[in-house]
Structure 1
Amino acid sequence: MGALFSRVRLIYQTLKSISDSFSALSKRISRDPGLPTPAPSRSYWCLPHSPLDNLETSSLPADADVVIIGSGIAGAAIARTLLDSSSGGKKRPLRIAMLEARDICSGATGRNGGHISPNSYQDYSELASKYGVEAAQAMIRFRLAHLPALLAVAEEEGLLPESQARMVDQFDIYLRETLFQRAKNSLAAYFEALPERREKHDIRDAKAKIEDLQLSPLATGCISQSGGALHPYRLITGILARLLNVYPAFQLFTHTPCTDIALAADGRSYCIITPKGTLTTAHVIHATNAWAAHLLPGMRRKIVPMRVHMTAQRPGSALGVETADALPWTGTRAFVFYPGTTMFAFDYLTQQPNGDGLDADNSAKLGSDVSADTGYPAPAGELMFGGGAMLGGRAEAVLLDNIGIADDSGTDFEVTAYLGGALERYFAPGWGEESSTSSSRAARTAGGSVSPSGDDGWGAGRIKAAWTGIMGLSADGQPWVGRVPRYASQRAEPGEPPTPEANLSLARPGEWIAAGFSGEGMTHAWLAGVALARMVLVDVSVKGKDASALPPQFLITEKRLKEADIEAFLGEVGSE
């Protein structure tokens, strides 16, 4: 009887815990995300700081033509497009003010995994079922267009060395045979819809071919394609530095949160209220992603913050190095690991190069602490690993616990502990011995010195750094781009400016948004920002069906806002 009573109590406690968890979740996804936490956890990407963080900025101007809130990848794409597209001619340059609540690029862009690896075959069938075949094809092609677009931007800006922007071999690794079979079925449907992608993927299901990747024998299958990787913080801060240098009318204000927006007394502009003063503008652009609902009350439950974890780790001594059977691959591969039976539980891995450059021509520099090409500390093959997919079967509970959380000041012990131990298991027995400092790999190959206390203030041992970032979870899974309806802003829109000159050939005044990238900002945010800037510029030349054209399903409308249901969407994801 005692055992039965204990069992009943356990069932009761479990059901109560689930009920309490869902009740707490419902409250979290409905609340104001507030402003970004003033002291976020220490992201490995963001140090050393960009010189722009020490930029001496003047006081806020009285007014600007456009105010961009947010200095991440979307904000940078918007500013670059507006400034570069509108320069020259007879009209005066656009006066643009960019506001950032914390350090420059300190949101999701400066805290993500560095992947340019779009979900493609994994999502195609669901997209086709929901939006139709033609729309699904356009949405996948939009994602795929980001890799060449970002590589081109890095080259145009002269930032290839600093940003580490490069092509890599992308491997999706499946540990369960049932999920691998489902993935192959999804890939077959994907090929039917996008036949041009058939030659871009390779399926490995033979153990020998998988072991060639230094993976654990537990891996049952692999699907590979080309992907990309970069140092997102340095790419975006480099772009913004160039814009500030070239366009005197562009100003960037860090530690200047926008706390409120109100219609100005003249009824023709907005008042942007900050702790440093107020400025007026005809155009407000929200590029704040997870925090968008703070200034747009109607976006609550439409874009919901979600905390995710990242680490920078030292690789095992045998990983990626040249052997009698294999060529070195440090910095040239990226992985997505699916250890369970669902596609939504995964871990992701990229790797920085080893030394200044990306090829053997730079091998003589590997012992250097500072890159001769960039002036930044030379990378040493750090593994940039994020996720927390399994956690002993608690993946769903951990995911729920982090939805609605907009605080990136700390990390979850359980998730960080998982990330600290998972890589060795994914690559066993190819991991090798532990490395104590990131410079040890360079020291073994080029005679460099090893600091016994770690390097540059990062932790010793396997994990150099662990941090969190806040992604913006969209209520229907797609980004929100375009002119903000009053339903979302809950504010009146300004009237037309008094003269055409004051309008500078821009669209009629209003609020705009590019946000809600659901953790896929690297394959959505840049071109979404470009598209939004062209809307503000009334650039009719971009209408068409090229791959980089914004899918209509991403446009923000009152109808879409009313239909998007975050709880229904989460239910669909969880029922996979």
Structure 2
Amino acid sequence: MDERAAIVPTLPRLNPTSSYWQDPPHGISTHRTTGELPESVSTIIIGSGITGASIAYNVLDKSDASSVLMLEARTTCSGATGRNGGHTKAASYRAFLDNVRDQGEAEAARIARFEYRNIKAVHDFAREHKIECDSWEGDTVDIIYEVNQWNRARQAVSEMRRILGEEDVAAQYKFYDASETAERFLTDGAVGSVSYEAGSIHAYKFVIGVLGLALTKGLNLQTETPVLEICRSSGGQSRWTVKTLRGSIEAQRVIMATNGYTAYLYPPVKGIIVPLRGTVAAQRPGSQMPKEGLKTTYSFIYGNGYEYMISRPPGSRYAGDLIIGGCSTKAPEEGLYEWGTTDDTAMDPEIGQYVRDSAANYFGSQWGEDDPDGRIRKQWTGIMGYSSQGFPLVGKAPGEDNLWIAASFQGSGMVLCFLTAKALVTMMDGEDDEEMIDWFPRAFRMSEGRLKDKFRGRLHEKAPMDLELKAGREAQPVPEECPIRSQGIMPSST
């Protein structure tokens, strides 16, 4: 992992794999507001995903907003946001025990509430501004196949209810045993399941909608304009020169919304923000699956990883399609070689095959025959960004004036980015008061100390093997004949 984390990211690659969400591309995918780059602006935002778009909207929403330039290396929203799984799902309980241990009870509660609030804010914004993005709100379920993961979930939710309060909206979870799980969620062989509030969204369309609002407020969007370097301007200590393939621009402040690619432009985060390539597939459901589509979104959790899945909601294009991703730990060395890569033009063949087979394997006899047109409608990869502590890095670059960062969203951009953008703009405007300190997690803030932490890979996935439930509650054992395990999905050691 040390070797993989030390790899310097490249610029976003040309000709990436074709994302389901970007087919067809939107009219502003190659938009350039002006034919030439301006020589000087007040603010440059690098990156046009959900973070960059939300930052632009919030900056331009201020009555005194002046010239704002957005630079995108490829087409609009062609990075992680336009290549994700469409899931607005926090799964806050999964990291809660670790957050209590490392950050304390108050901060763990703040993180959980922030994640829930962010999800609601995304859907509320889409509804308020009439952004057509297949916004769907409902329940999700985590199908759990391993005893220690089940024990961990029960203990985490118990702690959430104790710390947040029984009635807190961020602490509402329902548990189902193995038989209830099989009946309700059409999956056999699980230890049990946990259900809670979540949703799904067409993230590409959502960002296009946010950018459309920003463009009407005066945003200058320049696509296919990769940034090569950020350096201090000769014009003064607090000004910056941003060098691109199309020329250089002077700016009062620069914001990097570049997620897994950030270390290319800002070397201090090399080995602190590490890229990870993810694989996603859009699948036509099998003949025995519900004709009206699945009623919930899913995750499938086992000993050392998970897959996530949504069913495209009624009324959307290809309603009922299953979008499933994850699976990187199923490759040799638990997918170690997927870390450090920014190549989304290619796909690991073993992970790709596992993703193609995963939904049919999980639903087993409930799947039926593959669609006559084929199981896979489209398959693609995307580059995420992970940090050494498992949290985003948000705020002013240490020791620099007017250089800001909002990056490293741990594969959970739809759960973290939207309100993070609001928080960053609040910081830049000097309005970082007690109210914001109360709702924005301290653990997400950029600091000198966070540039010294050793990278440890993706956190909060493996449960300790000796984990026991509190208050003497016993976990349900794994069935001896587990169909998921027999199909090669579960590691033989669990």
Q: TM-score, normalised by structure 2?
A: 0.88
The one of the two structures with greater contact order (alpha-carbon pairs below 8 A, sep at least 6) is 2
- Other-structure match for 1:554: 444
Q: Residue 69 of structure 1 corresponds to which residue in structure 2?
A: 46
State how far apart, in whole Å, the 1-side matches of 2:303 and 2:349 are. 24
- Counterpart Cα distance in 2 of 1:389 and 1:100: 28
Instruction: Give the conservation status (yes or no) of the 8 Å contact 1:478–1:554.
Output: yes
Question: Who is 2:276 aligned against?
Answer: 306
| Residue 206 (structure 2) pairs with residue 235 (structure 1) | yes
1:320 aligns to 2:283 (yes or no): no
**CA displacement 1:290-334 (0-9 Å, x = unmatched):** 01111111110110111111010001122223xxxxxx4x26411
Q: 2:296 aligns with which of 324, 328, 333?
A: 333
Superposition map of 1:80-95 within 5 A: 80-84=57-61, 86-87=62-63, 91=64, 93-95=65-67
Selected match of 1:355 from 298, 303, 315 = 315
Cross-structure match for 2:253? 283
Q: Following the alignment from structure 1 to structure 2, what is the Cα–Cα distance between the partners of residues 379 and 424? A: 18
Residues 193-208 of structure 1 mapped to structure 2, 5 A cutoff = 193-195=163-165, 196-197=167-168, 200-207=172-179
8 Å contact from structure 2 (residues 40, 249) kept in 1: yes
| Mapped contact 1:63–1:279 kept (Cα < 8 A) | yes
Distance (Å, rounded) in 2 between the aligned partners of 1:331 and 1:154: 23
Query: Matches of 1:571 and 1:348 in 2, distance apart?
Result: 16
Partner of 2:482: none
Alignment of 1:52-451 (within 5 A): 52-57=28-33, 58-84=35-61, 86-87=62-63, 91=64, 93-159=65-131, 162-195=132-165, 196-197=167-168, 200-207=172-179, 209-244=180-215, 246-248=216-218, 250-267=219-236, 268-321=238-291, 328=292, 330=293, 332-338=295-301, 340-342=302-304, 345-356=305-316, 378-388=317-327, 391=330, 394=331, 397-437=333-373
Higher helix proportion (structure 1 or 2): 1
Matched, 1:524 2:484: no
Deviation at 1:153, TM superposition (A): 1.1
* Aligned mates of 1:175, 1:298 — CA distance in 2: 40
Residues 105, 570 of structure 1: CA spacing in aligned structure 2 closer, same or farther, 3 A cutoff?
closer
Q: Which amino acid aligns with 2:268?
A: G
Percent identity between the aligned chains? 33
Instruction: Specify every segment of 5 or more residues in structure 2 that has no aligned partner in the other structure, as ranges.
Output: 465-494
Question: Secondary structure at 1:188's aligned position in 2?
Answer: helix
Provide closer, same or farther for how the CA distance between residues 260 and 570 of structure 1 changes in structure 2, counting only shifts above 3 A.
Answer: same
Classify 1:60/1:349 alpha carbon distance in 2 versus 1 (closer, same or farther; 3 Å): same
Secondary structure in 2 aligned to 1:525? helix
User: What does residue 359 of structure 1 align with?
Assistant: none
Partner of 1:6: none
Distance in structure 1 (CA, Å) of the matches to 2:336 and 2:266? 24
Structure 1 unaligned blocks of 5 or more: 1-24, 322-327, 357-377, 438-460, 487-492, 494-508
Measured in 1, the distance between the counterparts of 2:196 and 2:406 equals: 28
Structure-2 residue corresponding to 1:543: 435
**Equivalent residue for 1:451?**
none
In structure 1, C-alpha distance between the alignment counterparts of 2:436 and 2:370, rounded to whole Å: 53
Q: Deviations over 1:189-211 (max 9, x none)?
A: 2221222348721111051x223
- CA gap of 1:135–1:463, structure 2 versus 1, over 3 A, is same
| TM-aligned CA deviation for residue 122 of structure 1 | 1.5
Corresponding residue number in structure 1 for 2:389: 476
Choose 1 or 2 for highest CA Rg. 1
User: Partners in 2 of 1:574 and 1:169 — Cα distance?
Assistant: 24
Structure 1 pair 431–571 and aligned structure 2 pair: CA distance change class (3 A):
closer
Counterpart CA distance in 2 for 1:430 and 1:571 is: 33
Q: Deviations over 1:492-546 (max 9, x none)?
A: x5xxxxxxxxxxxxxxx51000001111111111111111011122235673465
User: For residues 38-53 of structure 1, what are the structure 2 equivalents within 5 Å?
Assistant: 38-53=14-29
Q: Which moved more, 1:111-120 or 1:381-390?
A: 381-390
Superposed displacement of residue 54, structure 1: 3.9
Contact 2:240 2:250 in 1 (8 A): yes
Deviant stretches of 4+, over 4 Å: 569-576
Partners in 2 of 1:473 and 1:540 — Cα distance?
A: 25
SS in 2 for 1:428: helix
1:2-13 pair list within 5 angstroms: none
Q: Could you report, residue by residue, the CA deviation over 1:31-84 in whole angstroms, capped at 9, with x for unpaired residues?
A: 320211111111111111010024354200111110000000110110011111
What is the CA distance between 1:146 and its match in structure 2? 1.2
Instruction: Flag the 1:349–1:573 CA change in 2: closer, same or farther, 3 A.
Output: closer
Q: Secondary structure at the match of 2:365?
A: coil
Classify the secondary structure of the residue corresponding to 1:97.
Answer: strand
Partner SS, residue 318 of structure 2: coil
Residues 394 and 407 in structure 2, CA contact (< 8 A), matched pair in contact too:
yes
Matched to 1:76, the amino acid is A
What is the CA–CA distance in structure 2 between the aligned matches of 1:187 and 1:254, rounded to whole Å? 44
* Aligned counterparts of 1:431 and 1:197: Cα–Cα separation in 2: 37
Letter in 2 for 1:538: G
> Are the aligned partners of 1:331 and 1:354 in contact in 2 as well (CA < 8 Å)?
no
CA RMSD of aligned residues (A): 2.0
